[in-house]
Amino acid sequence: MISQTSSTQIRVAVEEEAQAITDLINVAFRGAEQFFIDEDRINLSTTLELFESGEFLVAFHRDVMVGSVYLEPRGDHTYLGLLSVDPSSQQSGLGSQLMTAAEAHARAQQSRFIDILIVNLREELPDFYRRRGYIETGTSPFPPEVQTKVPCHFINMSKSLVD
């Protein structure tokens, strides 16, 4: 168990939960990204591939998966992606709980920095991450194989995990 409150538990996922994680990611991103993308964010085979290079933390509320986040070690950095909260649990602080647990987990794995990519069209995200101590470190292109309704790119952000 990585984190536990009276009603929420956060732990490392097991591969048998890949379909539930895939479904959660897609439902969470569908509402937030439908204005610029029509496709699902991820499919089962991609989720399974991610289990080979990193791990997911999953949050449960009363035995129901309500959140997840992906972590991938990259030297003294950890990449954090696919932060997902079930729409019924959004605006509850669960996203922040998952971020805190992910940062603590990365720190425990000896990571010195944690890196994220956010889509520039999601205007609410930079301030959320800045309040958590992330700084912008550049931009990178959106995957060319993903069809979008409008042009977009990633904003790269990073946070030091060293006190």
Each residue's pLDDT tens digit in the chain (163 positions)?
676 666 799 999 999 999 999 999 999 998 888 888 888 889 999 999 999 999 999 999 989 999 999 999 999 999 999 999 998 888 888 999 999 999 999 999 999 999 999 999 998 899 999 999 999 999 999 988 888 999 999 999 999 999 7
Q: What is the CATH number of domain 3-116?
A: 3.40.630.30
For residue 3, what pLDDT is reported? 64
Domain boundaries, the chain: 3-116
Angle at which helices 18-33 and 44-53 cross, to 10°:
110
For residue 98, what pLDDT is reported? 95
Q: Are 157 and 118 in contact (CB under 8 A)?
A: yes
**C-alpha 26: how far from chain center:** 12
Q: How far apart (Å, rounded) are the C-alpha atoms in residues 98 and 103? A: 9
Length of the chain: 163
